[in-house]
Amino acid sequence: TDSTFINHLKKDFDDLKTCTGLSKGEFEEVTIVVMPPSFPCRWYDGECSGEYNPPNTIKLGSPYLWKHEAIHYLLHVNNGNSDSSHQSPLFQSCI
């Protein structure tokens, strides 16, 4: 993976921390696994394009889902609940 992609993900992560107000969690602590565009996951009978696996792994099939999955991570690190049911308004206001 070239540094341009990593730098983009880090900038988005830092922007998310500002938007969400969630201070715990660092980009360098996240393990990012680049996946095929669709892959089997535990949440759906079909496939996913992104998946957060606690405590710090994000499977990413599409870069467009990075912010969404990073919010799951930040919620988990800060509140102990990654909000798999997507009730947090942060999924709307910070993406």
Q: What is the DSSP letter of 75?
A: H
Q: What is the DSSP letter of 38?
A: S
Q: pLDDT tens digits, residue range 5-51? A: 999 999 999 999 999 999 999 999 999 999 999 999 887 778 999 99
Using the predicted structure, report yes or no on whether residue 85 has a pLDDT greater than 90: yes
Measured in whole angstroms, the distance separating CA 93 from the mean position of its chain's CA atoms is: 15
Name every residue whose Cβ is closer than 8 Å to that of residue 57 and which is 6 or more positions away in sequence: 30, 31, 32, 33
Residue 43 is predicted with a pLDDT of 74
Contact 60, 30 (CB under 8 A): no
- In one-letter notation, the amino acid at residue 4 is T
Domains in the chain, CATH or no CATH each? 3-93 (3.30.2010)
Residue 59 is predicted with a pLDDT of 97
What the block records as the tokens of 72 is 């799951």
